[in-house]
C-alpha cells in the first residue's frame, strides 16, 4: 500500500478519501475547512498544513476541488503542490474542470518534472460513498496504468480516454447528458401530473422501457419524496455546463439544448435554490405551472 496525498475534502472528496484509507493506503490530507480535515484524521489520515506540505510528504497526490481556478491555485499557487513536489511526483486531479485548464496546469507541472492526469468522476455522493464511481482519465497511459489500482479503490470503473484533458472532455459529455435527462424527466412527469396521472405509476410503467435511465431511477424517487438534499448541487452543474459551453465554442460544437437547461438552472440559482440537488431542476417546471410533481 502507498502513502498518498489528498487535497479537497468536500461532499465527494471526503468519502473518496475514506475509501482509500479502507483500502489500506496511508493518507496525508489538506482542506481549507478544518472540520473536514478533522473527520479524516478520525478515520486514520494525517493532517498537513498546506498543499505544499502534502507534496513534500507524498509522491502521488489526489485533488478533488470545485473548479479550474481552485485547481490552478492548489497546484501552481503560493504554498501549492509544485512548491513542495519532487521530480517524478504524480498529481491525479479528480476535479471536474475545463479540459483546456487541465492542459495548462499539466504543462506547468511538466516544467518541474511532475506528471499530471485528469480523472473526473461520475456518480455523485452515493457512489463516492460506495466506492463505485465511474472514473474517466486523460493523460499518459503509463501514468494511468501506475495509478489504476488507486483509482479502483474509489470507483467501479476507470477508463483511459486519451491525452490530458480527455478525462474532463468525457466528463463534460456526461454532464450534458445528465442535465438534459433531468430536464426531460422533469418536463415529462409534470405533464403526467397536470394531466391527472399519478407520477409514481408513470415511473413504474416506463422505467423498464426505452425511456428508462439511471438518471430517472435516481432522481424520480427523490423528486416524489421532495428530497433535494444535494448529492450534486445545481450550482456545480451550472459550473460544468458553463465549461461545456465554453469548450463547445472553442472547438466549434454547438450546444443549444445545454444552453437552454443551463438557463433553467440559472433561474433556480437566482431564486436561492442553487445548493439543492440537481434533481431540483423539477422546481423550474413547478414554478411555471404552480403545481408539484408528487404522488397522488
Would you give per-residue pLDDT tens digits along the chain (296 residues)? Answer: 789 999 999 999 999 999 999 999 999 999 999 999 999 999 999 999 999 999 999 999 999 999 999 999 999 999 999 999 999 999 999 999 999 999 999 999 999 999 999 999 998 888 999 999 999 999 999 999 999 999 999 999 999 999 999 999 999 999 999 999 999 999 999 999 999 999 999 999 999 999 999 999 999 999 999 999 988 899 999 999 999 999 999 999 999 999 999 999 999 999 999 999 999 999 999 999 999 999 87
User: Alpha carbon of 150 to those of 147, 155, 166, 170: distances in Å?
Assistant: 5, 9, 19, 20
Distance CA(51)–CA(11), nearest Å, equals 19
| Phi-psi domain of 50 (left: phi exceeds 0; alpha: psi -120 through 50; beta: other) | beta
> 247-255 long-range CB contacts below 8 Å, 24 or more apart?
247/98, 247/99, 247/100, 247/169, 247/172, 250/100, 255/176
Residue 213 has a CB neighbour count (10 Å cut-off) of 17
Cell of 34: 478544518
Residues 6+ apart with CB under 8 A from 282: 182, 185, 186, 189, 190, 223, 293
Domain 3-163 shares a fold with domain 169-289 = no
The pLDDT score that the predictor gives to residue 1 is 73
The pLDDT score that the predictor gives to residue 124 is 86
Residue 59's closest CA among 85, 26, 97, 29?
85
**pTM of the complete model:** 0.91
Contact 52, 79 (CB under 8 A): yes
Residue 26's closest CA among 34, 17, 35?
17
CATH superfamily of 3-163: NAD(P)-binding Rossmann-like Domain (3.40.50.720)
Residue 188, burial from CB neighbour count under 10 angstroms (0-12, 13-18, 19+): middle
Give the residue numbers annotated as catalytic, written as ranges. Answer: 171
Cell 491525452 found at: 163
The pLDDT score that the predictor gives to residue 231 is 83
Looking at CATH, the fold of the domain delimited by 169-289 is given as 1.10.1040
The pLDDT score that the predictor gives to residue 2 is 85
Q: Enumerate the domain spans of the chain.
A: 3-163, 169-289
Distance CA(76)–CA(230), nearest Å, equals 30
Amino acid at each position: 500500500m502507498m502513502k498518498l496525498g489528498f487535497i479537497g475534502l468536500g461532499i465527494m472528496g471526503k468519502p473518496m478519501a475514506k475509501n482509500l484509507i479502507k483500502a489500506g493506503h496511508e493518507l496525508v490530507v489538506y482542506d481549507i475547512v478544518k472540520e473536514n480535515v478533522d473527520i479524516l484524521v478520525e478515520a486514520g489520515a494525517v493532517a498537513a498544513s498546506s498543499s505544499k506540505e502534502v507534496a513534500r510528504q507524498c509522491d502521488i497526490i489526489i485533488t478533488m476541488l470545485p473548479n479550474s481556478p481552485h485547481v490552478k491555485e492548489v497546484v501552481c499557487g503560493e504554498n501549492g503542490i509544485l512548491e513542495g513536489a519532487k521530480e517524478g511526483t504524480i498529481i491525479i486531479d479528480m476535479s471536474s474542470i475545463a479540459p483546456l485548464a487541465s492542459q495548462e496546469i499539466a504543462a506547468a507541472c511538466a516544467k518541474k518534472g511532475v506528471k499530471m492526469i485528469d480523472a473526473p468522476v461520475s456518480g455523485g455522493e452515493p457512489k463516492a460513498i460506495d466506492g463505485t464511481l465511474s472514473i474517466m482519465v486523460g493523460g499518459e497511459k503509463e501514468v494511468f496504468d501506475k495509478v489504476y489500482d488507486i483509482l479502483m479503490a474509489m470507483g467501479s470503473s476507470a477508463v483511459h480516454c486519451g491525452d490530458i484533458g480527455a478525462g474532463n472532455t468525457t466528463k463534460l459529455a456526461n454532464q450534458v447528458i445528465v442535465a438534459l435527462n433531468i430536464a426531460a424527466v422533469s418536463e415529462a412527469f409534470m405533464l403526467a401530473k397536470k394531466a391527472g396521472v399519478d407520477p409514481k405509476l408513470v415511473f413504474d410503467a416506463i422505467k423498464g422501457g426505452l425511456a428508462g435511465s439511471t438518471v430517472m431511477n435516481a432522481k424520480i424517487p427523490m423528486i416524489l419524496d421532495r428530497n433535494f438534499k444535494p448529492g450534486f448541487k445545481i450550482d456545480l452543474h451550472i459550473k460544468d455546463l458553463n465549461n461545456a459551453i465554453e469548450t463547445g465554442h472553442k472547438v466549434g460544437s454547438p450546444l443549444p439544448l445545454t444552453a437552454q437547461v443551463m438557463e433553467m438552472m440559472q433561474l433556480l440559482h437566482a431564486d436561492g435554490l442553487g445548493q439543492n440537488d440537481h434533481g431540483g431542476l423539477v422546481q423550474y417546471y413547478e414554478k411555471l405551472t404552480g403545481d408539484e410533481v408528487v404522488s397522488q
